Chains A and B, each alone.
Chain A
Amino acid sequence: MVHTALPVASQAAWLRWAWLLPLALLPAVAALPADPASWSVSWVAPLGIHLGFAADGLARLFLLLVCVVGAAVLAYTPGYLHGHVRLGQLMGLLIAFTLAMIGAILADDLLLLLLFWEATSVLSFLLVGFERDSPDSRDSARQALLVTGAGGLALLAGFVLILLAAPGLRLSDLAQLDPAVLAQPRFQAGVALVLAGAMTKSAQFPFHFWLPGAMAAPTPVSAYLHSATMVNLGVYVMARFDEAMGAVAWWEGTLLSIGTLTALWGAMQAPRERDLKRILAWSTVSALGMLTVLIGLPNELGALAFVAFLLAHALYKAPLFFVAGNIDHATGTRLIDRLSGMRHAMPVTALVALLAGLSMAGLPTTVGFVAKDSMKAAKEVSDVLWVVEGASLLVSTVGVAIASVAALRIFFGAPAHPADCAPHEGGWRLTLPPLVLAGIGITLGMFPALAEPLLIDAARLISPTLTRADASLATEWLLRIESFAIVWAVGAFVYAGWNRLYRILERLRFLDRAGPAAAYGAALRGLKHVAGVLARALQARRLSRYLVATVAATVLLCMPWAFGLDFAPPVAIGVDAAGVLVGCATAILGAALAVRARDTLGRLLGAGAVGVGSAIVFLFRGAPDLALTQLAVETVFVVVAAVALRCYRQRQGAGAGPVDAWRAGVALAFGLLLGAVLLALSGRPFDAAMADYFLAQSVPHAHGRNVVNVIIVDFRALDTLGEIAVVMLAALAMWPLARRLPLKRPRQ
């Protein structure tokens, strides 16, 4: 309510303990059943939307990551942004994000999943744009929102198609999908759209470019959203659909090719960066590509490798982001050229970087090694194309080099850092959370049996045939040590030549002009350009043009309908025809005057005469009330408009030239249309039920003989009340406007 008024100290009270929240959820998450269990309650019954949630082994693994990394991030952030005015806001957004992630993972109903999915996109936008005063930050936030938001739309369209093909389908039904449903083109088109949406979220090529841009976010946000959790949401959805879609020809091919391309692209872009955080971001892109490839692998071991790599990646990438944050916090820079030998000043951070780096490089006794080992096993079993195999080798070597850059290059060698700072550790909040995460990674690497049940339960949701017997994570690491040794050796070579590689890859700058990021920029500029052209074409800023356009459009729209009308012969004119004829003649003369008049006043008087003419007609056709009102309105309008128009700046040539043929045509067509409609209407049988009712009830119920007025003030008094309220609102609305009218009183 009055949070902004609170002093910073008391603001920080709950912030200090926010990290306990995800930790408190851990026992509940750990107790989730491995076999699918769902819970549902009807929500929007007419649309068939349920609040349906389901939990299983795969959801459990994702939830554990969200909670563990979330706790680390929530513990880390108050230390990282200590004293920041909007720290409370950031923490609130992070907690909201945690809840949205939990919702998205537990959602069983497709549209519910979409809801949480969009929530994560919006929260990501707010978090990336947290430094709202920086234009760079705002641009990145908008880019992330536009790309993932477009993906959200694709996801919605895909879900709608899927639900049309299989009404009431839930995510947990995908495992036992009817082959007849699967074969429907509509279902497959839906899944293709879902895949496209998932790829924007998981930064797959060509939608990857928003992820490095998202590094404008505060570092704990990057560690949480853009490495460990949100980007994995897309991968999670792909994994959910994999079991059903595994039998479809295009599915695996698409996953393998896009994943490989993404992994290669990320690996190629990483050495082109000098900012540690952006290097890590590109390696995340690369890892997400590898995850997609692993989903695409057809065998059971691929599923196991997928979950193992997912776990390992979160456990080393988040600490590495924290390391980048610590260095930034201590020295004010993340450029690897300006940093070295930091281990003397920041020994704990150096230890974290070393542990996480070992895991990233996939050295034995780390969870990274376990993941790499199972990936290796999966690829051995299945006949993967040599392209995929070669690409993953290349990506692994670059990964080794990146790990070395983060763990060795910055922390070893002669101390060097920007002169205007004294680097130091930033307290337990900055060192302990990453240390714990990296420590878990090492522990699970040393005792893979600890993670085995968790991972196998998760993998079985993707490949149900997986059993414990054929999927052991036991580190028979001597088995494949040769191939690992090659990767490490080449990785070390790449690390040694990192600067040279940078110079070579710098020649690829032309890619920046043609890549997807450039296409995004061009599309954004193009959009603005098209909007400008359209606005200039449509917004003539002249009332007469708007009027002509509106009338012409009305005529065009109504023309087909008007041709279908059936016309009755005109109503015969009775004995009171003389008065009616006078009225008609007045109206026609007025119209002729309005068309032929050379100045505004004449035109206005002509228009007024048309009104008077119709008042006369009303008078002789038995509507004296209407005639009276029409006459009064017409009089007041003509007088006021005459005064106003006389003062309005006369445009040169307006009305003075010959009649504009185009406008005359539009006016004629509109007149004909209205006339036709009136004729057709007057030919229709008149339902007198209402009139008879009011005529009969007016005197007994409302004590009035003027039925029109009785209807206005009694039978439909509530309508009248609303109408006069509108009249008053109109006056209120014009009140401030009238002062700014471009009116000038001409010389008398």
Chain B
Amino acid sequence: MNAERPVVVDTTVSVLYWLMLGAAVWLLLRGHNAPGGGFVAALVAVAATVAHALVAGTAAARARLPLGPLSLSALGLALAAGSGLPALVSGQPFLTHWWGELAVGAAALKMSTVMLFDLGVALCVWGALGGFCLRLLGSLR
């Protein structure tokens, strides 16, 4: 975008981008027992996307999204809604979550459809808000 952009900003953001995405994943995973969760994770990811867009342009930032913004959002919504379906199989109300334990060596890792739901929230918000920001920034001429 801007040819006179300082190289420091460029470099910092390129590192920061992955750091922020990593932070987002970390927030998403720890959300159930400590501060965090899908929504905050999505906001951090949106911040990463916006930062990248400011440096490399909206097209580049958009290309780094796993899907198109709206598709990503729709996928998240579908995941969140889909996480409630197993409950119907076991005859419980929609969105009653399943819990199970996965043995990883000596430790027992708790797994749940809640993870799926939270991931859905994160993807939906990332796609929608990230798309919103990209669209807004992209419309500036």
Contact = CB atoms under 8 A, between A and B. Distances in A.
Interface of A: 624-625, 627-629, 632-633, 635-636, 639-640, 643-644, 647, 702-706, 708-710, 712-714, 717-718, 720-721, 724-725, 727-728, 730-732, 734-735, 738-739, 741, 743-745, 748
B141 A743 contact: yes
B120 A714 contact: no
Nearest to A746: B140
A632 B37 CA distance: 12
B118 to A, nearest CB: 5
Contact of B139 (A624, A635, A741): A741
Contact of A643 (B44, B125, B140): B140
Contact of A636 (B39, B50, B114): B50
7 contacts: A636-B47, A636-B133, A706-B32, A721-B84, A727-B124, A739-B139, A748-B2
B136 A636 contact: no
Given A643-B140, A724-B124, A728-B127, A629 B133 contact: no
Interface of B is mostly: helix
Contacts of A731: 69-70, 73, 127-129, 131-132
Contacts, number: 153
Given A702-B97, A712-B37, A643 B137 contact: yes
The 3 A-B residue pairs with the shortest CB-CB distance, nearest first, are A632-B43, A731-B128, A704-B32
A720 B38 CA distance: 11
Given A644-B140, A706-B35, A731-B128, A633 B43 contact: yes
Contacts of B132: 730-731, 734, 738
Interface string B27-39: 1000111111111
Contact of A705 (B4, B33, B39, B120): B33
A709 B33 CA distance: 8
B84 A717 contact: yes
Given A709-B31, A731-B132, A724 B140 contact: no
B61 interface: no
A728 B73 contact: yes
B25 interface: no
B2 to A, nearest CB: 6
Interface in B57-73: 69-70, 73
B120 to A, nearest CB: 7
Contacts of A639: 47, 50-51, 54
Nearest to A721: B80
Contacts of A628: 27, 35-36, 40
B24 to A, nearest CB: 10
A726 to B, nearest CB: 9
Contacts of A629: 39-40, 43
A644 B114 contact: no
B36 A721 contact: no
Given A725-B77, A727-B128, A706 B33 contact: yes
Contacts of B136: 640, 643-644, 738, 741
A748 B2 CA distance: 8
A743 B33 CA distance: 44
A738 B120 contact: no
A300 B110 CA distance: 93
Given A728-B70, A728-B73, A745-B141, 20 more contacts: A625-B40, A629-B39, A629-B40, A706-B34, A706-B36, A708-B37, A712-B37, A713-B38, A713-B114, A713-B117, A714-B114, A718-B94, A727-B125, A731-B129, A731-B132, A738-B132, A738-B135, A739-B139, A743-B139, A744-B141
A735 B70 contact: yes
Contacts of B138: 738
Given A625-B35, A636-B46, A728-B73, A721 B40 contact: no
Contacts of A647: 140
A708 B127 CA distance: 23
Nearest to B47: A636
Contacts of A735: 70, 131, 135
Interface string B75-101: 011001100100000000011010100
Interface string B5-28: 000000000000000000000010
Nearest to B4: A748
Given A714-B114, A731-B73, A748-B2, A705 B34 contact: yes
Q: Which of A635, A710, A731 has most chain B Cβ within 10 Å? A: A731
A636 to B, nearest CB: 5
A717 B117 CA distance: 8
Contacts of B97: 702, 713-714, 717
Contacts of A706: 31-37
Contacts of A738: 132, 135-136, 138-139
A625 B128 contact: no
Q: Which of A624, A714, A718, A748 neighbours the largest number of chain B CB atoms within 10 Å of its CB?
A: A714
B84 to A, nearest CB: 7
A743 B140 contact: yes
Given A712-B37, A724-B124, A702 B47 contact: no
Contacts of A710: 32
Contacts of A743: 139-141
Contacts of B31: 706, 709, 713
B94 to A, nearest CB: 7
Given A713-B118, A743-B139, A732 B70 contact: yes
B74 interface: yes
Contacts of B120: 724
B140 A745 contact: yes
Contacts of B76: 724, 728
B95 A718 contact: yes
Contact of B43 (A636, A717, A745): A636
A724 B80 contact: yes
Nearest to A629: B40
B41 to A, nearest CB: 9
A706 to B, nearest CB: 5
A725 B39 CA distance: 13
A722 to B, nearest CB: 10
A534 B133 CA distance: 36
A648 to B, nearest CB: 9
A511 B46 CA distance: 72
A712 B32 CA distance: 10
B84 A624 contact: no
B65 to A, nearest CB: 13
A624 B99 CA distance: 26
A739 B117 CA distance: 32
Nearest to B38: A713
A260 to B, nearest CB: 70
Contacts of A748: 2, 4
Contacts of B77: 721, 724-725, 728
Contacts of B121: 712-713, 720, 724
Nearest to B116: A713
Contacts of A644: 136-137, 140
A732 B124 CA distance: 12
Contacts of B84: 717-718, 721
